[in-house]
Structure formats: C-alpha cells, structure tokens
A and B are shown apart, each in its own frame.
Chain A
C-alpha cells in the first residue's frame, strides 16, 4: 500500500516539473522569437524605407522625362508607374515663368508592417544664373550720385564715384523685401577706387592694384561697411616681394582690413598687413540659348534683319504703348539698332538681338499696369567700351544704351512690379541721366552716369534660356508621407 502511494507521488512530481520547465522554456523561446521577429521586421521596414526613396525619385525622373518629351506641357492627371522595387505616383503642376512643381510618392512592400511610403517635392526651374546687380566681364565705372542695391562684380576694376552708394538689399533706401546682395563690391583682377563720400555697405575685395599700387583706394569720406581685402591674382603675391602694392588707403572701414601691402585707412576691426590672400578669380556670363518652346504659344516674334527691319519697326510702332512677348532678332548690325524708344511694357517682354544693338537713348522706356512683369533685353552686339564711355549710350556705341527717362519705378525704395535684365556679353551697357530700375545688368562692360538707381531684383535670378540647362532641379524636399496631391510639405 505504502509502495503504491509513493509511486503515484513520484509520477506527479515529474509531470509538474516537466510542465513547469516546458512553460519557462516556451516563455523564453517566445520572447527570443519576438525579439528576432522584431529585428527581422525592423530590417525589412528599414530596407523598404530606403527603397521607397529611390522609387519616389524614379517618379520624379519619370516626370522630368515627360516634361522633356512634351516641351513643358504637364500631364493632366496623376501618373503611375512601377519599378522592380515598388510603385510610384507623380503629379506635375506648372507654375509661372517656367517653374514646375513635381510631387512623387514611392511605395515599397506589401501592406503591413514592412510597407514604406515616401513623398518628394521637387521644383524644376531655369538654373540660377543672375545674382549680382551689376556684373561686368571687364570693369564697372559709376559717376555721380548713383545708388546700387545689391552686389557688384567686375572681372577687372570697379570705380565707385563721388557720392555713389552700393547698399545691402535690406537697406531702408532699397526696395522692401530684398534679400539677395549685401552691398559687396568685388574687382577680381584689379582695383577698387572709391571717390569722395562714396559708400560700400558690404565688403570690398580687390584682386589687383592701380597705378599707385592700391588694391583699394578710398578718398575723403569714403566708407566700407564690411571688410576690406586687397588680394593678389599672383600665387603667394610673388609679384610684389617688397609689399609695395596691394595697399589699402584712405577712408574708413567698419570691419577688418587685410592686405599684402600697407593699410592707411581708419579701420574699426583688425588690421592685418603683409598677408597674402588669393584673389576671387574671374567669372563668366551665363550663356543664352533661344528655344521657342520656352515661351507661351503665340507670343514669339522672329525677325531677320535687315530684311525684316521695317516690319519690326512697324510692329513696335503699332504696339509701343502695350508691348509684351518675345522678339528674336537675327542679323543686322550697327546700322540696324533695335529701337525701343518710347515704348511702354505691359507684360513679360524678351528682346534678343544676336547682331544689332538695342537703343533707348532718346525716348526711354516705361511700364504700365499692375501685372508683375519681367523684361529681358539681350544684345550680342560687340563694341569697344571706349566709344560707349564717351557718348553715354548711342546706337553703334553700346550694345545696350540708355539715356534719359528709362524708368520702371517712381522711386527706388517704393518698389516696382517690373524687373529688368540687361544682358550684353560682348559689348558695353551704358546708362545716363535719371535711369531707375529694379533688375540686373550683365555685360562685357558697364558705364553708369548721373543719378542712376538700380536695385537687384530676385525675379531675375532664374530666367529661362540662360545657363547651361533649360530647366534644373532647383529645390528638392522630402515631405511627410501623404498623397501625391497633398498641398503641404512638412
């Protein structure tokens, strides 16, 4: 009897022990399997996450290819596609002046924990080409009481004459809302000359020197609001072992001053002499390529001078109070100037002449209407700067010449709905007497005289046809996941 009872007790203990051990083992195995499964899911999700970006980018590039094939006509609806990794959707929205917003969503993985979706927003636009208020392949010469809001760049020298001011775009005297340009002046391979009471609100940076050895020469009352640097285009300043050149003299400098030669200016910040710094190096003007597909249908007018010279003038005469559109003019020359005197612009206007100068030396040009407007005047006419300098802008003397009453704004700080780009890579651009505009001048040479005001306008930063590509990706952002039609991009 006792033997039987003991036998049953032993059997029960074994069972309970086995169940307990099994339960504990199951718990640990489950726990480890959960961790392993989490790791596997996490890795798969991470893989999908990375792939979803590539798939979404496939959608972006498909949209770009679509735009290239359609010459800028956007698809009417949301488009879809697949890659080996997943599926994508894209949508293109055309915006003003050849800007396109592309939204693309890439999805990878089957629905569930391992699926990943990413959304991209890309802006296609003309490449950034114009950042300076005044840009010259040679020199920039200003005379008497001019105001420039923005930066000045010259591949050779810059002369800032009596009473001239180069101001930051945020200066109260400049149009409100300006953001580009700090009032800097750069003379890449030569000197900066600042006459009496002239002002450079930003930095002054020279890469050479004048006949007296000054990199930056400042007369009485001339001021530099930022830093001044007299650099050398010669490595290690080896061309001037005695420190006789690359000097800074006169006026006052609010920031630091650095020169290979002496510094005789009044300097608020640190004054560093005998220090060789590299000159900024020269820059080139963005090239222009004409393509009718870049402009709205029905707005392009093409003329071949001299055959079409009369027809062009007839058109201008008939539309001079309400001018807009694109004018592409080939041929001609000094005897066939593009005469826009007395015209009034009412919408976006592009005038491109590959051989003729553009003349506005008598009647000026104005703008009308509340519509936001961009004017591009481009001439590839080649002329020596010297003749343009002496006459202040006459046909055959300048690639683009303005004299009297070229006014796109009643006051510089009052703002304007018209931005003007003057583009003359082969010849000089000259202004004389009371010329005011918001915009930029890019030319082989720039001559500015008497009470001219120019304020850099960021609407000119990207203009179709200028630069090495028609359209470029100018902004790339990843938005929070959402539908391709979602307007916000957080």
Chain B
C-alpha cells in the first residue's frame, strides 16, 4: 500500500465514521427526546385524569367572586370532593413550573413539573351555568415544556361538567 492509498483510505474511513457517529448521536437524541416527551405525557395524563375525576364529582368548587363575570381563569383551584366516601378539600396550585396538590390541611406536594410558566395563569377556567347558581364547568389546560431539546410544548385539555352541582342547587328553596 502506498502512502497515497493509506491517506485516501483513512480519509474515507474518517468520513464514514463521522457520518455514522453523527447519525447515532442524532438517533440517540431523538430517542431521548421521545422518551422524555412520553414520560411528560404520561405524567400529564395521570394528573389530568385524577383532577378530572375529582372535580367531576365535586360538591363545592371555589366560586367566582365577581358577580358580573361568567368565566374566570386562575392558576389554582380549590374544591370539595369525595375521597373514599369522605368530603375532602383539595387545592391544586401552579407556582413557577410546578403544580402542587394539597389535601385538606396537609402540606402541599408537587404532582407535575416543567409547567409552561407562560400558561399557568390560565390553568383553570371556571364557568357559571345559566340555570343554576354557581360554577358548573371547569376547564383544565395543562401545558408542559419537556426538559429535552428541541423546546416544545405539550398541551392536554379537559372540560369537566360538575355532576353534583346541578343536583345540589336546583329547586332548593
């Protein structure tokens, strides 16, 4: 083998290796990104399902204080719902990039991270009904920015009709 052959071969091998490693790095990054996205989605679904279930059967929800407002958005929500058959006060609150849950008077704990800080103010939307007093619908808008790049936003929404509110408010004099 001549020196020229050796140089050309080495150069070609280097190009091939660089291409392969570049591809591997890219695939690895995509895989990690996908895994992170999946984990965030799973966490969001779990939290959203739990909140939806509890709010749907809530007997009392933080009311809208402004008598002229039909809809109000907020970063926190307090409601009373049945936990193992016992009426329990639950508070969800977004602070920074974390969503915390507080049960009764116990300390709040984090249930979801990486919240999109630009969307926490509209995390909960409470809407009055027209035929009964008080809040009848709660819309939850979870928006999360997974830690892995490229920066993306995952968003899950749930609109909950409070099943126990109509029954407890209609007709009672």
Question: Are B172 and A131 touching (Cβ within 8 A)?
Answer: yes
Q: Is B170 an interface residue (CB 8 A)?
A: yes
Closest to B83 in A: A490
> Could you tell me the distance in whole angstroms from the C-beta of A26 to the nearest C-beta in chain B?
12
> Could you tell me the distance in whole angstroms from the C-beta of A269 to the nearest C-beta in chain B?
19
> Could you tell me the distance in whole angstroms from the C-beta of A299 to the nearest C-beta in chain B?
25
Question: Are B49 and A132 touching (Cβ within 8 A)?
Answer: no
User: Which of A21, A32, A38, A476 is within 8 Å of B164, CB to CB?
Assistant: A476
Q: Is A270 an interface residue (CB 8 A)?
A: no
Question: Are B164 and A28 touching (Cβ within 8 A)?
Answer: no
Q: Is A467 an interface residue (CB 8 A)?
A: yes
Question: Are A127 and B171 touching (Cβ within 8 A)?
Answer: yes
Q: Is A238 an interface residue (CB 8 A)?
A: no
Known contacts A42-B42, A476-B57; A32/B172 CB under 8 A: no
Provide the bound-state CA to CA distance between A69 and B57, in Å: 27
Provide the bound-state CA to CA distance between A38 and B45, in Å: 14
Question: Are A131 and B173 touching (Cβ within 8 A)?
Answer: yes
Q: Is B30 an interface residue (CB 8 A)?
A: yes
Q: Is A478 an interface residue (CB 8 A)?
A: yes
Question: Are A286 and B164 touching (Cβ within 8 A)?
Answer: no
Question: Are A35 and B167 touching (Cβ within 8 A)?
Answer: no
Question: Are B82 and A477 touching (Cβ within 8 A)?
Answer: yes
Question: Are B45 and A489 touching (Cβ within 8 A)?
Answer: no
Closest to B35 in A: A35
User: A residues 254-281 with Cβ under 8 Å of B?
Assistant: none
User: A residues 1-44 with Cβ under 8 Å of B?
Assistant: 21, 24, 28, 31-32, 35-36, 38-39, 42
Provide the bound-state CA to CA distance between A489 and B86, in Å: 10
Q: Is A285 an interface residue (CB 8 A)?
A: yes
Interface residues of B toward A: which range? 20 to 34
User: B residues 74-89 with Cβ under 8 Å of A?
Assistant: 82, 84-85
Question: Can you list, as one digit per residue, whether each of B3-37 has a CB less than 8 Å from chain A (1) or not (0)?
Answer: 00000000000000000100010011011001100
Question: Are B24 and A35 touching (Cβ within 8 A)?
Answer: no
> Could you tell me the distance in whole angstroms from the C-beta of A82 to the nearest C-beta in chain B?
23
Provide the bound-state CA to CA distance between A31 and B29, in Å: 12
Provide the bound-state CA to CA distance between A127 and B172, in Å: 8
Question: Are A286 and B171 touching (Cβ within 8 A)?
Answer: yes
Provide the bound-state CA to CA distance between A468 and B28, in Å: 64
Question: Are A468 and B171 touching (Cβ within 8 A)?
Answer: yes
Provide the bound-state CA to CA distance between A473 and B84, in Å: 20
Question: Are B164 and A129 touching (Cβ within 8 A)?
Answer: no
Closest to B42 in A: A42
Question: Are A476 and B171 touching (Cβ within 8 A)?
Answer: no
Question: Are A128 and B168 touching (Cβ within 8 A)?
Answer: yes
Closest to A468 in B: B171
User: Which of B28, B31, B85, B173 is within 8 Å of A35, CB to CB?
Assistant: B31
User: Which of A131, A132, A469, A477 is within 8 Å of B57, CB to CB?
Assistant: A477
Provide the bound-state CA to CA distance between A32 and B31, in Å: 6
Known contacts A28-B31, A31-B31, A478-B57; A42/B41 CB under 8 A: yes
Provide the bound-state CA to CA distance between A32 and B28, in Å: 9
Closest to A480 in B: B84
Question: Are B167 and A478 touching (Cβ within 8 A)?
Answer: no
Q: Which residues of A contact B84 (CB under 8 A)?
A: 490
Provide the bound-state CA to CA distance between A476 and B27, in Å: 49
Q: Is A283 an interface residue (CB 8 A)?
A: yes
Question: Are B49 and A49 touching (Cβ within 8 A)?
Answer: yes
Question: Are A283 and B173 touching (Cβ within 8 A)?
Answer: yes
Question: Are B173 and A442 touching (Cβ within 8 A)?
Answer: yes
Q: Is B53 an interface residue (CB 8 A)?
A: yes
Among B20, B35, B45, B171: residue with most chain A CB under 10 A? B171
Q: Which residues of B contact A84 (CB under 8 A)?
A: none
Q: Which residues of A contact B27 (CB under 8 A)?
A: 28, 32
Q: Which residues of B contact A477 (CB under 8 A)?
A: 57, 82
Q: Which residues of A contact B149 (CB under 8 A)?
A: none
Q: Is B101 an interface residue (CB 8 A)?
A: no
Q: Is A431 an interface residue (CB 8 A)?
A: no
Q: Which residues of A contact B168 (CB under 8 A)?
A: 128, 474
Provide the bound-state CA to CA distance between A262 and B49, in Å: 52
Closest to A476 in B: B163
Question: Can you list, as one digit per residue, whether each of A450-483 has a CB less than 8 Å from chain B (1) or not (0)?
Answer: 0000000000000000011100111111100000
Question: Are B45 and A46 touching (Cβ within 8 A)?
Answer: yes
User: A residues 299-336 with Cβ under 8 Å of B?
Assistant: none
Chain B residues engaging chain A, CB cutoff 8 angstroms = 20, 24, 27-28, 30-31, 34-35, 38, 41-42, 45, 49, 53, 56-57, 82, 84-85, 163-164, 167-168, 170-173
| 10 A-B pairs with C-beta separation under 8 A | A28-B24, A35-B35, A42-B42, A46-B45, A130-B173, A131-B173, A153-B173, A468-B170, A473-B167, A478-B57
Known contacts A36-B34, A442-B173, A476-B56; can you find 4 more A-B pairs with CB under 8 A? A32-B30, A42-B45, A131-B173, A153-B173
Chain A residues engaging chain B, CB cutoff 8 angstroms = 21, 24, 28, 31-32, 35-36, 38-39, 42, 46, 49, 127-132, 135, 153, 283-286, 442, 467-469, 472-478, 488-490
